Amino acid sequence: MAVQDWPLLVRLCKQALRKNRSHLLANRLLGFSFNKLRQTDDALRAYRQAVAIFPDDSELLVNFGALLVALAQNFEALPLLEKAAQLRPNKAACWIELAHCCYAISLHEKGFQAAEKAISNATLSHERVSALSQRAIHRREFGQVKEAVADCEAAIAIDPENYGSHANRLLFMLADPETDDQQLADAAKSCATVFEPLLQPCWPSFTELHGAPWRKLRIGFLSPDFRIHSVMYFVEGVLAQLDRRQFEVFAFYLYPKEDHVTQRVERHVDHFVRLAGAGIDEQVSIIRSHQVDIVIDLAGHTGHNGLLAMARKVAPVQATWVGFPGTTGLKAIDYLISDQFTDPEGVDSLYTERLFRLPTRLCAYRPMSRNPLWRYQPRYLVQASPAISNGFVTFGSCNNLGKITDEVLLTWARILSGTPGSRLLIEGKNFERPDFAAAYLARCEQLGIDPRCLDLVPLNTDNQYLTYHRIDIALDPFPLNGGTTSMDVLWMGVPMVALEGKSFKSRLSTGILMHLGRGEWLAPNTEEYVAIACGLAADIQKLNAVRLGLRQEVENSVLMREDVFCLHFGNALRTMWLQWTAEQQAPGDAQTQSKLIEAWRADAPSEWSHLPIPGVGLSPGKRMTINEAHKVLEQALAKAKSVLPKADSADGKIENIHWADLTELAETVLTAVPHDAVALSCLAEVEFAHGHTDFAVTYLRHAVAAMGTAAL
Q: Work out the average pLDDT over 242-255.
A: 97
Q: So what's the pLDDT on residue 479?
A: 87
Handedness of CA 373, 378, 381, 386 (dihedral sign): negative
Whole-number pLDDT of residue 434: 92
- Give the tens place of pLDDT for each residue, 183-230: 999 999 999 999 999 999 999 999 888 878 999 999 999 999 999 999
**Bridge partners (DSSP) listed for residue 318:** 295
Mean pLDDT of 223-249: 97
Mean predicted confidence (pLDDT) in 553-582: 96
Question: Is the pLDDT score of 126 beyond 80?
Answer: yes
| Backbone phi and psi for residue 109, each to the nearest 5 degrees, phi listed first | -65, -45
DSSP code per residue over 552-621: HHHHHSTTT-HHHHHHHHHHHHHHHHHHHHHHHHSTT-HHHHHHHHHHHHHT--GGGGSPPPPEEEEETT
- Taking 50 as the threshold, does the pLDDT of residue 7 lie above it? yes
C-alpha distances (whole Å) from 617 to each of 86, 337, 673, 686 are 50, 26, 10, 22
pLDDT digits over 424-469, tens only? 999 998 899 898 899 999 999 999 999 999 999 999 888 889 999 9
Q: Please tell me if the domain spanning 204-358 has the same topology as the one spanning 372-556.
A: yes
Q: Are 118 and 131 in contact (CB under 8 A)?
A: yes
pLDDT at residue 125 in the model:
96
Confidence band for 609, pLDDT divided at 50, 70 and 90: confident
Whether 571 has a pLDDT exceeding 90, the answer reads yes
Instruction: Tell me the whole-structure pTM to 2 decimals.
Output: 0.92
Question: Span 616-711: which CATH code?
Answer: 1.25.40
Sign of CA dihedral 583, 587, 590, 593: negative
Contacts of 170 (CB under 8 A, 6+ apart): 184, 187, 188, 191, 301, 324, 326
Q: Is beta strand 622-625 parallel, antiparallel or unpaired with respect to 615-619?
A: antiparallel
Interhelix angle 484-491/540-556, rounded to 10 degrees, is 110
**According to the model, what pLDDT value does residue 4 have?**
81
150 — pLDDT class (breaks 50, 70, 90): very high
**Is the per-residue pLDDT at 568 higher than 90?**
yes
| Dihedral sign (CA 497, 499, 500, 504) | negative
**pLDDT tens by residue, 320-378:** 999 999 999 999 999 999 999 999 999 999 999 999 999 999 999 999 999 999 999 88
Model confidence band, residue 647 (pLDDT cutoffs 50, 70, 90): low
Angle at 273 between CA 267 and CA 274, to 5 degrees: 110
pLDDT (0 to 100) of residue 76: 96
Which range among 1-15, 90-104, 171-185, 292-306 shows the weakest confidence by mean pLDDT?
Answer: 1-15
Mean pLDDT over the full length of the chain: 94
pLDDT at position 566: 96
Q: CA quadruple 104, 108, 112, 118: dihedral positive or negative?
A: negative
Cα–Cα distance, 578 to 333 (Å, whole number)? 17
Whether the predicted pLDDT of 102 surpasses 70:
yes
- Give one DSSP letter per residue of 479-531, joined into a string: SS--SHHHHHHHHTT--EEEE--SSGGG-HHHHHHHHHT-GGGEESSHHHHHH
pLDDT at residue number 2: 54
Homologous superfamily (CATH) of 372-556 is Glycogen Phosphorylase B; (3.40.50.2000)
CATH of 56-193, one of 3.40.50.1110, 1.25.40.10, 2.60.40.3080, 3.40.50.300: 1.25.40.10
Domain ranges of the chain: 56-193, 204-358, 372-556, 616-711
pLDDT-derived band of residue 712, with 50, 70 and 90 as boundaries? very low
Query: Apex CA 297: angle with CA 293 and CA 303, to 5°?
Result: 150
pLDDT band at 711; cut points 50, 70, 90:
very low
Mean pLDDT value of segment 564-593? 96
Q: What is the pLDDT of residue 463?
A: 87
Taking CA atoms, 260 is separated from 238, 309, 664, in Å, by 18, 27, 13
DSSP string, 612-634: PPPEEEEETTEEEEHHHHHHHHH
Whether residue 274 has pLDDT greater than 70 = yes
Cβ pair 603, 639 in contact under 8 A? no
> Hey, what CATH topology would domain 204-358 get?
Rossmann fold (3.40.50)
Phi, psi of 236 (to 5 degrees): -60, -40
Nearest residue to 397 via CA among 481, 508, 462: 481
Encode pLDDT of 54-63 as tens digits: 999 999 999 9
| Residue type (1 letter), 238 | V
Residues 683-703: what's their mean pLDDT? 92
* Residue (of 160, 512, 562) closest to 361 by Cα position: 512
